Structure 1
Amino acid sequence: MTLPPTQDRAAGAILGAFIGDALGLGPHWYYDLDDLRRDYGDWITGYTTPKPGRYHEGMAAGQLSQAGLILKMLLQSIVECGEYDEADFCRRMDEELFPGLDGTPMFGPGGYTSQSIREAWRRRVKQGLSWSQSGSHADTTEAIERSLVLAVRYAFIPHRLADVIARNTRLTQSDELIVSLTVAYGAVLGLLVQGEKLDAHLSGKLMHLVKSGDLPFHAVTTGKLDVPRRDVAEPSHAGRFASPDALLTPSYIARAAADPDIRIEPAWKVSLVYGMPCAAYHVLPAAYYLAARFRDDFESAVLHAINGGGQNEARAMLTGALVGAQCGLSGIPSRFLVGLEDADELQRLARSLAAQLV
């Protein structure tokens, strides 16, 4: 069944994230690219089985990592509740995820448990702390990887989007810079679901939302980052996040991707330009670059994300959501759905959430 354009983009963002996650399962966290090419050849083209001794050993091609499973958990919660219900999501984490963890990295559903989830488990299970005390200072992208579904759900309500993403992020990550980067990614994705493109003009539209009070970023400049006027008082809504720079980054990177004098060839080497590690400040610029450069080419975007090595799973997951929102579910090649485990259920959930958009 053909979806209306907005719902097609919303479902595309969600399925794009699941596909990116599953693509990264086998070749995850190879920091020596010679080792990556030795194990998987010169170019990875689809889902692969993790090699013995690697992070997701024992899992099969096309399955989701723990990041994908948590994304699915939040997606199910929103679909069943009709909106974001934090208590319901936390209950699912307590009852469905945490009993399968033991606090060590190489254990748990999905084959590997990330730093922020291990710390949340320790605080909740071992220390008996409340969810308001469960966040740690991990600077990684786990919160972005799950809260992207909140960005889709509240794409047309930016102030609500910012609030729920910030609250959901703090469940596992308390660093305010990471919270601001996570909200900014969600705001970008929300505009793409609305039908905007990741281009040189997108940040200006995000800044308009800052000036109107819909996005809680501090900003004192005017127009195109011009000098503040002496006769205008600072906005009363300014200040939750220290600066709007996380909203400006996407368009600067999009301009670079479109500039003929700035070329990263082949595009997978974006991982070398922005860095292969797991921190959000490495992963996000690479995802923005690939999503801007290949905005209408889902396959190229996610495969270049995967073939760059390092934290390629998160890179592909975030890229997949951004490009999926631009090309829609209808623009994702069917072969990526055929090889994805439980693809029918994931599509049903994505379509159900897309139908909730207002």
Structure 2
Amino acid sequence: MSDPAIQDRAAGAIMGAFIGDALGLGPHWYYDLAALRRDYGDWITTYADPKPGRYHSGLKAGQLSQNGVILRLMLRSLIERGSYDEADFCRRMDEEIFPSLNGMPVNGPGGYTQQSIRDAWRKRVQQNLPWGQTGGQADTTEAIARTLALAVRYAFQPQELAAAISSNTRLTQIDDTVVTLTVAYGAVLGLLVQGHKLNRSLSGKLLRLAKAGKLPFHTMAHTDLQPPQEDHPREGGHFVSPDALLTPSYVAAAAVDPDVRIEPAWKVSIVYGMTCAIYHQLPAAYHLTARFPNDFESAVLQAVNGGGENQARAMLTGALVGAQTGLSGIPPRFLDGLDDGETLQEYAMNLALKVDASTTGGES
């Protein structure tokens, strides 16, 4: 059983993700920033209705997108089964999500269905393929949106964390780079739930876990980045490079470097990329988390006001910063404004109770 501080951080990560998702529902996917400001004013501060004819049209402020709906499904599975049960998760997708889809983008729970979920639906429903043959090549953060719950559940069990996230990701996304980056994000979130901060030293902690065989990333016997005196073999792991574990601290160092300034902070979307691609989204989320480690509101609002794929940016940032501030550090207005927020908090706290700090494998 985890202690209260760990429970607070674990629940903060889950609620931070839900809040980020809901904040992006209205102003989602405005790549024209002038149009975003025209429709929502100079600064978005809270939940907002989607405009007619846009993504998620017909939904109301504070509701979840389909990413949030599937995250909620994952939470229910984890809570009721006690641990990750892939067959149970897949059954829930078959029974609760896929019957509401028709293969079109603007359809289904949450108002919009991501490409990877549409592809999985076609393979599963139209082609009657088994789970495990349903993944596609989409390069988005779609899998992170649900597997972040696995990162929280297994925060102190990095081997289980990596195995569960990798397996679940491949249900909808099979590109090796996407899987690698998704597992790396989960490993980062796990350390934050433990109580570490996303700073310039975090990547070193991740690399130590990899060298100890607790994260499935190849490492080199020489890690000082100096020219090798001999040809050292790669050590351990499925993923061919540890670079995805290095990125968080590189970004974090830049975020606090007085000579490297992104002002205002929402312009991370312009610097790192406004699109849906995972390699654009993760640096922006890492940057905002490192820059606002104790300020949940600033982090998620800067993520939302950057436009583009701001919903994923806010969801990923919300989980990371929420893990640093804890549920207790999230302003009540964000919790109060969530649709069915009490139930979501109950799920978050129930999962937090299952985070076991007594297991070996965490980073001390």
TM-score by length of 2: 0.96
* Counterpart in the other structure of 2:244: 246
The AA in structure 2 aligned to 1:49 is D
Q: Give per-residue Cα distances to partners, 1:95-115, cap 9 Å, x unaligned.
A: 000000000001111000000
The AA in structure 2 aligned to 1:261 is D
Give the SS at the match of 1:132: coil
User: Hey, what's the Cα distance between the residues in 1 that align with 2:229 and 2:13?
Assistant: 39
Using a 3 Å threshold, how does the CA distance of structure 1 residues 329 and 176 change in structure 2: closer, same or farther?
Answer: same
Counterpart check, 1:169 vs 2:169: yes
* Counterpart in the other structure of 1:21: 21
User: Hey, what's the Cα distance between the residues in 1 that align with 2:115 and 2:205?
Assistant: 34
Aligned length: 354
* Counterpart in the other structure of 2:41: 41
Equivalent of 2:292, from 270, 291, 294? 294
* Counterpart in the other structure of 2:355: 357
User: Hey, what's the Cα distance between the residues in 2 that align with 1:213 and 1:52?
Assistant: 51
Q: Within 5 Å, give how 1:1-358 maps onto structure 2.
A: 4-228=4-228, 230=230, 234-235=234-235, 237-238=236-237, 240-358=238-356
CA contact (8 A) 1:221 1:227 kept: no
Deviation at 1:143, TM superposition (A): 0.3
Using a 3 Å threshold, how does the CA distance of structure 1 residues 280 and 232 change in structure 2: closer, same or farther?
Answer: closer
Deviation at 1:215, TM superposition (A): 0.7
User: Hey, what's the Cα distance between the residues in 1 that align with 2:306 and 2:255?
Assistant: 17
User: Hey, what's the Cα distance between the residues in 2 that align with 1:162 and 1:345?
Assistant: 28
The AA in structure 1 aligned to 2:306 is G
CA contact (8 A) 1:29 1:312 kept: yes
Give the SS at the match of 1:92: helix
CA contact (8 A) 2:221 2:234 kept: no
CA contact (8 A) 2:222 2:232 kept: no
Using a 3 Å threshold, how does the CA distance of structure 1 residues 227 and 206 change in structure 2: closer, same or farther?
Answer: farther
Q: Give per-residue Cα distances to partners, 1:96-142, cap 9 Å, x unaligned.
A: 00000000001111000000000000000000001110000000010
User: Hey, what's the Cα distance between the residues in 2 that align with 1:333 and 1:186?
Assistant: 24
CA contact (8 A) 2:220 2:232 kept: no
The AA in structure 1 aligned to 2:138 is A
Deviation at 1:225, TM superposition (A): 3.1
User: Hey, what's the Cα distance between the residues in 2 that align with 1:156 and 1:228?
Assistant: 33
* Counterpart in the other structure of 2:362: none
CA contact (8 A) 2:221 2:233 kept: no
TM-score by length of 1: 0.97
The AA in structure 2 aligned to 1:145 is A
Flag structure 2 segments of 5+ consecutive residues without an equivalent: 357-364
Q: Give the root-mean-square deviation of aligned CA atoms.
A: 1.1
Q: Give per-residue Cα distances to partners, 1:275-330, cap 9 Å, x unaligned.
A: 10000011110000000000100000000000000000000000000000000000
User: Hey, what's the Cα distance between the residues in 1 that align with 2:261 and 2:198?
Assistant: 18
CA contact (8 A) 2:218 2:234 kept: no
Using a 3 Å threshold, how does the CA distance of structure 1 residues 228 and 205 change in structure 2: closer, same or farther?
Answer: farther
CA contact (8 A) 2:140 2:276 kept: yes
User: Hey, what's the Cα distance between the residues in 1 that align with 2:144 and 2:284?
Assistant: 14
Identity value in percent: 69
The AA in structure 1 aligned to 2:52 is P
CA contact (8 A) 1:199 1:292 kept: yes
Q: Give per-residue Cα distances to partners, 1:122-175, cap 9 Å, x unaligned.
A: 000000001110000000010011100000000000011000000000000000
Deviation at 1:233, TM superposition (A): 5.1
